[in-house]
């Protein structure tokens, strides 16, 4: 399987180039940002700090050097595996990310899973009955939600369930004032509920719409006509032919939408003050915490790229019409 190796190699080289490109652009953007890291770090204490002290801090952080040198220093330390120090959290960037990632992965993973399962089911149902009431309701839901900003949904949920009904907590991943080791699983789930709902609701709409269109196309295909001619009932046809043929495009969309999931999680986590990667990103941006911001950016890029690659590969491996053709790998790797 020489073509396999070539494919993986080309993908890796491309991934490295994308990461390097993102690193340069992200660094430039951070440098162009109006937020001055030293001002943000000092906060109100700025009045008590003289210019000499400022210069001292700048020197200590290496900010007195030209941007090119700063970038070279940062980039070479990234290559050795050192992500730097986060002044916002006063911890190493690697530690901050791994801790934040652990709480975010639960939120994003579950939201991803739910939007996949529920969205796919709704899409299948709507697409199997186009024009019927169930289809209209599902479509209305999907169109409205696909056009709704995440933060607005999040705030709405907060107003209704936390403030109005008082069913769910207003913020955070655990009750305030409780030591992390004393938090029960039930309490964690209780706090996870609303952010998860906000994030899932939007993912569902996208998957449902994609699946619906695919399903309508399948139900009008020749092989479904033949299945009807064989006496297959609609349920039989949907389960045997519909689900099978609609699954692959849906999974592809699901993997390709990882980027939107990250974007959504930043907004949802901020609204709910959920201590995940998303809120850390906002914090890093506002405080001018460049090492943390860049590391999160790179990690997100890596995550999304891998998701897209999986989507690509899956489509070509799982479809028997394509996987048997050796041209596939050349086509994919072009």
Binding site for other proteins (CB under 8 A): 221-223, 225-232, 236, 240-241, 244-245, 248, 319-321, 324
**Beta carbons within 10 angstroms of residue 80's beta carbon:** 7
- By beta-carbon proximity to other proteins, the closer residue of 176 and 229 is 229
Of 227 and 271, the one with the shorter C-beta distance to other proteins is 227
Strand intervals (E) in 156-252: none
Q: Which CB sits closer to other proteins, 11 or 228?
A: 228
**Measured between alpha carbons, how far is 70 from 67 in angstroms, rounded to an integer?**
5
Min dist CB 112 to other proteins, Å, is: 24
Q: Tell me how far, at minimum, the Cβ of 298 lies from other proteins, in Å.
A: 38
Kindly report the backbone phi and psi dihedral angles of residue 148, in degrees, each rounded to the nearest multiple of 5, phi listed first.
Answer: -100, 135
Report the alpha-carbon distance of residue 204 to residue 143 in Å, rounded.
11
Cβ-based nearer residue to other proteins, 63 or 247: 247
Question: Judged by CB, which is closer to other proteins: 98, or 323?
Answer: 323
- Least separation in angstroms between residue 296's CB and other proteins is 39
- Least separation, in Å, of the C-beta of 323 and other proteins? 10
Output the smallest distance, CB 2 to other proteins, in A.
23
3-state helix, strand, coil in the chain (%, to 5): 80, 0, 20
Cα gap 261→150, rounded to integer Å: 10
Q: Using CA atoms, how far apart are residues 113 and 200, in angstroms rounded to an integer?
A: 8
The CB-side HSE value for 158 (13 A sphere, CA atoms) comes to 17
């Amino acid at each position: 399987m020489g073509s396999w190796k070539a494919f993986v190699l080309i993908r890796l080289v491309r991934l490295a180039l994308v990461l390097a490109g993102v690193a340069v652009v992200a660094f430039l953007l951070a440098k162009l940002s109006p937020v001055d890291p030293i001002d943000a770090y000092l906060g109100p204490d700025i009045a008590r700090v003289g210019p000499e002290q400022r210069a001292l801090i700048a020197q200590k952080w290496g900010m007195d050097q030209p941007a090119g040198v700063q970038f070279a220093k940062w980039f070479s330390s990234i290559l050795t595996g050192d992500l730097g120090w986060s002044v916002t959290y006063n911890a190493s960037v690697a530690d901050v990310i791994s801790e934040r990632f652990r709480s975010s992965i639960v939120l994003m993973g579950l939201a991803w899973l739910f939007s996949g399962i529920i969205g796919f089911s709704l899409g299948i149902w709507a697409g199997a009955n186009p024009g019927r009431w169930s289809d209209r309701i599902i479509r209305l839901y999907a169109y409205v939600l696909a056009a709704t900003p995440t933060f607005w949904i999040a705030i709405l949920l907060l107003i209704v369930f936390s403030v109005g009904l008082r069913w769910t907590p207003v913020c955070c991943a655990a009750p305030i004032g409780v030591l992390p080791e004393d938090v029960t699983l039930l309490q964690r789930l209780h706090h996870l509920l609303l952010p998860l709902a906000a994030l899932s609701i939007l993912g569902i709409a996208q998957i449902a719409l994609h699946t619906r269109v695919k399903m309508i196309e399948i139900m009008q295909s020749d092989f479904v006509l033949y299945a009807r001619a064989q006496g297959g009932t609609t349920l039989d046809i949907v389960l045997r032919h519909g689900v099978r043929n609609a699954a692959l495009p849906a999974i592809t969309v699901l993997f390709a939408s990882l980027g939107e999931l990250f974007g959504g999680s930043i907004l949802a986590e901020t609204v709910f003050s959920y201590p995940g990667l998303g809120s850390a990103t906002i914090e890093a941006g506002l405080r001018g915490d460049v090492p943390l911001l860049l590391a999160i950016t790179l990690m997100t890029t890596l995550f999304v790229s891998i998701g897209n690659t999986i989507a690509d590969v899956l489509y070509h491996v799982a479809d028997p019409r394509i996987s048997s053709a050796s041209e596939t790998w050349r086509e994919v790797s072009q």
